[in-house]
Amino acid sequence: MIELDHLIAPEQSEYTLWVVALLTLPLLSGLISAFLKQQAPYGSSFLIGLNLVVAGFLALSLWDEPVSIRGSWFSLAGNDFTYSFFLDRLALAMSVIVNFVALLVHLFSIEYMREDPSKPRYFAYLGLFTFSMMGIVLFHNLLFMFIFWELVGLSSFLLIGFWFEKKSASLAANKAFILNRIGDLGFITGLMILYTQFQTLDLDAVKSLMAISEIEDGNWVVAFKKAGQEVMASLDGRWLSAAGIALFCGAVGKSAQFPLQVWLPDAMEGPTPVSALIHAATMVAAGVFMLARIFVLLDAQALEVVAIVGAVTAFMAAIAALSQFDIKKVLAYSTISQLGYMVLAMGVGAFSAGIFHLITHAFFKAGLFLSAGIIIHQLHHLEKGGQKFDPQDMRVMGGLRRKMPVTFFAFLLCSLALVGLPGFSGFLSKDAILLDLAVWADEKGGGFYIPEVLAFMTVVFTAFYTFRMILLVFFGEFRLAGILGRNQLENELHEGNGWLTVPAVIFALLSLSIPFGFTLNPENSWLMQALPTPMYVVPVAYAAQSLLDIPHETFEVLHGLVNAVSIGLALAGLVLAYWVYRPGGKLQKSFIEKREPVGVFGQVSFYHWYLNALYEKIILKGILAKARGMAWFDRWIVDEAVNLLAKLQVVIAYLTRWFDRVFVDGLVNLTAHSIGKVGQLTRSIQSGNIQAQILVTFIFLLTLILLLVL
């Protein structure tokens, strides 16, 4: 029988100090920003760069030899709580990605935030966020992961609401914080279920105990020893599915999945580099990373829920991106859609494909956000006098490729990776997801073809809104000059400097397929091979079927078909976007002139399926109505009852005082008076004469005898 104490026994490594440094250097970068003031961007960037070096060193040293570090944290009521680090290929890859993206965002922010008086606070928040993300990546204990999970929520709240003097930014930060807390309620519920069953949250220990769990008569049973005592834990088998779905709720909030995705578009109120760091590459990917960590704990039912939610999210967000005016909102909805692909991949068992897409998406989406940031930054400098405009509105752009060729180059490469065309990283990772999805749907059949249909339709919409964005921003005439009536305005527009363009170009080059393997088959990518799908440990009766069981020949035929359909749908989306939004076309002119899309489909798209209105009118107003009802009940029922009780107590007090004065005090006084009279009578008898006392005694005894006789 497995000893729990052995599973969570302390374990040290020669790399312990390196791991501690990898965790704490980002926090130090944030702390020194408060003291360096104007030099904060450079000091903070240096420490993040140093942390990238540490991450790279550990990746090279431990890639083939994972390291586990564990120690005792505290004991409570006979329960030992431990901390643990685990550096496997997944953690090492994520450490490098997080620090690499964070470093380029820091460098980009040096110029982007140069004129902001609060930039020390900005870089302090960036350091806190990177520290929080590293905690999620490095810790291998679900309790510690949850602690840093909440720290990520806090730091993202601070970054989204960085310009808190803007009401919209403050509201967006609050919205993100609240909706993430809703998802986190599910996360902590899952933790409680697992702790009830296994009495530990150490992931290695949980996996070992899960592997020996069984389903007996519908009950989820596991036996182990703890402190020499045999423990037999048993829960209804449905709790196994409930635990997985509850943990997944945390990912739903953090990774902006249906129905909690509405916070991410509003989060674009933060500085654009923040959008690149938090909402494209790291924070929203934390949910997918967490799913990867608990992947082997999810039973078949939980995985089905994950797959369906991912497919629905990808489709809905792609539809929402079709009609947006704000370039950052298009990218935000695109992020939600691509995160849906990653979640879908986890749900269908395509672990490697999901992580592959997480990494490729981090590069090309960060590049898109930084390129958009360059455009916004340069347009903002064209504001003069009282002439105000929205530098994020694509209706004021157009023709920017002539004045910003480097930005156009970076944006184009990253866009093609997003569309998923051959030769770009997005093609490899998306193709891997669609292939495994096709296999999964074919195995299950029936209604499970619906997620597959939604995913392939999303390919068309992704290509459409991406190419639409390119046409509106970089082609045609520079529309802002006509809007402001400044014909020479285009001459004032110029490319961003090296601090802005170099990070964007680096991300653009990483969006090519070459860094991941010069191939059209994702299975040949070194990254796919380096991150194999882990084995399930859930009880056999609840386990999902492996994707590896299908014949190789069938897999190859299906791969070719998926390739052809995916490429064809992407090209169809590009052609359709050009037909609709080509420069000088009637539909493009109509788009520029109208305040918002018309028609049912346009309205549904623009307002994101009316989810915000739905939540506001049904949930929010329902909660407010309930609150008002409770306030009325409290005011007129509870308060009045309390007031009435108080008044009754006053009346009772008056009556009590009267009764005490008249009856109690009167009785006491009467008794005292009577005792006084008796005392006076007996005192006359008590003369001190012994004969008199004998006489009185004799008379008393005689009287008593007569009473007894008679």
- State the virtual CA torsion across 46, 51, 55, 60 in degrees, nearest 10: 50
With beta carbons less than 8 A apart as the criterion, state whether 307 and 344 touch. yes
Considering only 39-43, 325-329, 343-347, 465-469, which range has the smallest mean pLDDT?
Answer: 39-43
* pLDDT on residue 691: 66
Start-to-end Cα distance in the chain: 93
pLDDT level of residue 74 (50, 70, 90 thresholds) = confident
> CA–CA distance from 16 to each of 19, 73, 634, 636 (Å)?
5, 16, 57, 62
pLDDT level of residue 290 (50, 70, 90 thresholds) = very high
Cα 689 to its chain centre, rounded Å, is 103
Would the pLDDT of 571 be above 90?
Answer: yes
* pLDDT on residue 280: 66
Mean pLDDT of 158-182: 88
* pLDDT on residue 139: 93
Residue 546 burial (10 A CB sphere; 0-12, 13-18, 19+): exposed
| Dist CA 331 CA 334 (whole Å) | 5
User: Angle CA(304)–CA(178)–CA(278) in degrees, nearest 5?
Assistant: 75
- Eight-state DSSP code of residue 664: I
With beta carbons less than 8 A apart as the criterion, state whether 182 and 253 touch. yes
Cα 472 to its chain centre, rounded Å, is 32
Strand partners, 72: 82
Cα 274 to its chain centre, rounded Å, is 15
Q: Greater confidence, 97 or 673?
A: 97
pLDDT tens-digit readout, 575-618? 999 998 888 776 767 767 766 777 788 888 888 888 888 887 77
With beta carbons less than 8 A apart as the criterion, state whether 424 and 416 touch. yes
Would the pLDDT of 505 be above 90?
Answer: yes
* pLDDT on residue 188: 94
Tell me how crowded residue 223 is: count the other CB atoms within 10 A of its CB: 15
Would the pLDDT of 688 be above 60?
Answer: no
